[in-house]
Chains A and B, each alone.
Chain A
Amino acid sequence: MAERQKIDARGAFCPGPLMELIAALKLASIGDEVDVWSSDKGSAADIPAWCAKVGHGVVETTEHDGYWSVVVRKAK
């Protein structure tokens, strides 16, 4: 069954939200979702850009009070 996992990478200077996402996707199954929280606007933009390059799906990007949540679905 597809799972959704949350990574709270707010305030993570190293390795940072995108690197955490890449690591999490390696362990996920196709169809699983990862919800990454980032307080850095740059990575909120980087994540969808990277997903487009690699071919993973971006389910939604939501701006909350002081952070972004990006939900990514593993596609391959």
Chain B
Amino acid sequence: MSKTILIVGGGLSGTIVANGICRQMGAELRSGALNITMLGTTETHMYQPGLLYIPFGRMREAELFRDQRKVLDKRVNFFVDPAKNIDVEKNQVTTEAGRTFKYDYLVLATGSRIMPQNIPGMTEGGHWFYDLDGARKLRKALNEFQGGKIVVNVNAPHKCPVAPLEVVFMLHDFLKAKGLWDKTELTYTYPIGRLHALEPVAHWAKPEFEKLGIKSETFFNTESVDPEKKTLKSMEGSELPYDLLITIPPHQGSQVIDDSGLGKGGWVPTNTKTLHREGSTNVFVVGDTTNIPISKAGSTAHFEADVTIDNLVSLCQEGTFAREYDGKVFCFVETGLGSGTYVWFNYTTPPNPGPPSQMIHWFKLAYNRLYWLSARGLL
């Protein structure tokens, strides 16, 4: 009997899973023993890390987008029809257009999104670069900026742990080149008691901040923003004035996860090793939407997708599980507009970043192009 793999979400991890399965199960797809269906929200696929470069004029908007049908293997049945309800008891997903899709295996890959609306005043008073609209507005604000107080404000939880630090160093280089750095006071706020969740990254960033004259405030979790007075308050009781507020808003997972009762805030309780949804053996969870306490990053999504491909292929072909996820995360860190470093770790190996270099920055720029090979499953 024919088996169906249904993938909800056509972002990074969903796309890698779909393409990876196609490559390994050509015979089954040809004979009709397997079919793969994906539900997405748009015809286009956006390279999210590229958003960081938009406010600085370092990437063109068009470079962020590809036609999702071209990124996906042709054998995937792709529908732009968002999932509305996911019923893991009945093994079926209903969509906004009213279709019902049955599955043998389900892959949840619905990612995470920014929720500035969860903090009073943040939508009106803040700028961000975590979506295209925000990145455009920030580009305009930076082009108009003539000096003053900038606050880079990080909130938990959020995806891409390094982007907030990267934007600080990029702001420094950008404003210095425009002759505005001397007229700028930049303050970086972070939710916990150091500059970054990763201890070695925090240790490295501290003297770099001091060298450049960047101020910081730790244990800062935003409670509210006052767009009139141009101040933001923390739950910890402090208040900061700003002329330009660049925030990394708190995130949540997709609404459909919450609405289907699969996890509060859109985070799906997930086995850290098998990547099964807790309580299901035919539902896999990949990428940002898991509740696994590790970084929500493209590399995490990629490594989880690779494990899930092997497990799904093995289950379909041999009726057995293949391997477990070891918690691997890898991140490039831009340390300015011309240098970078990287860091990796897993459930048992602590992170240990090397010294920044121009070459690693070039690697990251190269990755900005290679992403599309990675999504296709070729890298």
Contacts and interface: CB of A to CB of B under 8 A. Distances in A.
Given A46-B193, A54-B235, A12 B265 contact: no
B329 A19 contact: no
Nearest to B162: A14
Contact of A50 (B219, B265, B345): B219
Contacts of B235: 54
Q: Secondary structure at chain B's binding surface: helix, strand, loop or mixed?
A: loop
Nearest to A17: B293
Q: Secondary structure at chain A's binding surface: helix, strand, loop or mixed?
A: helix
Contact of A54 (B221, B295, B350): B221
A22 B221 contact: yes
Q: Which size bracket describes the interface of A in this complex?
A: 20 to 34
Contacts of A53: 219, 236-237
Given A8-B293, A14-B161, A19 B348 contact: no
A19 B197 contact: yes
A19 B351 contact: no
Contacts of A14: 161, 197-198, 294-295, 329, 345, 351
Interface string A1-45: 000000111011111111110110011000000000000000000
B219 A15 contact: no
Nearest to A38: B293
A76 to B, nearest CB: 9
A19 B345 contact: no
A5 to B, nearest CB: 9
A13 B192 contact: no
Interface in B193-221: 193, 197-199, 219, 221
Contacts of B265: 23, 26-27
B292 to A, nearest CB: 9
A17 B199 CA distance: 13
A19 B293 CA distance: 9
B241 interface: no
B293 A9 contact: yes
B198 A13 contact: yes
B120 interface: no
A9 B198 CA distance: 14
A12 B351 CA distance: 11
B118 interface: yes
A48 to B, nearest CB: 12
B295 A15 contact: yes
A11 B351 CA distance: 11
B293 A20 contact: yes
Interface in B226-273: 235-237, 250, 264-265, 272
B198 A26 contact: no
Contacts of A23: 156-157, 250, 265
Given A19-B156, A19-B197, A54-B221, A11 B191 contact: no
Contacts of B293: 7-9, 12, 15-17, 20
Nearest to A56: B235
Q: Which residue, B264, B293, B294, B350, has most C-beta atoms of chain A within 10 A?
A: B293
B221 to A, nearest CB: 6
Nearest to A23: B157
B362 interface: no
Contacts of B198: 13-14
Chain A to chain B: the 3 pairs with minimum beta-carbon distance, closest first: A23-B157, A12-B293, A15-B197
Given A15-B161, A22-B156, 19 more contacts: A7-B293, A8-B293, A9-B293, A11-B348, A12-B294, A13-B198, A14-B197, A14-B329, A19-B156, A19-B197, A23-B265, A26-B118, A26-B156, A27-B264, A49-B193, A50-B193, A50-B236, A53-B219, A54-B221
29 contacts: A8-B272, A9-B293, A11-B348, A12-B294, A13-B198, A13-B199, A14-B198, A14-B345, A15-B156, A15-B157, A15-B161, A16-B197, A16-B293, A18-B192, A19-B157, A20-B157, A22-B156, A22-B157, A22-B192, A23-B156, A23-B265, A26-B156, A26-B265, A27-B265, A46-B192, A46-B193, A49-B193, A50-B192, A50-B193
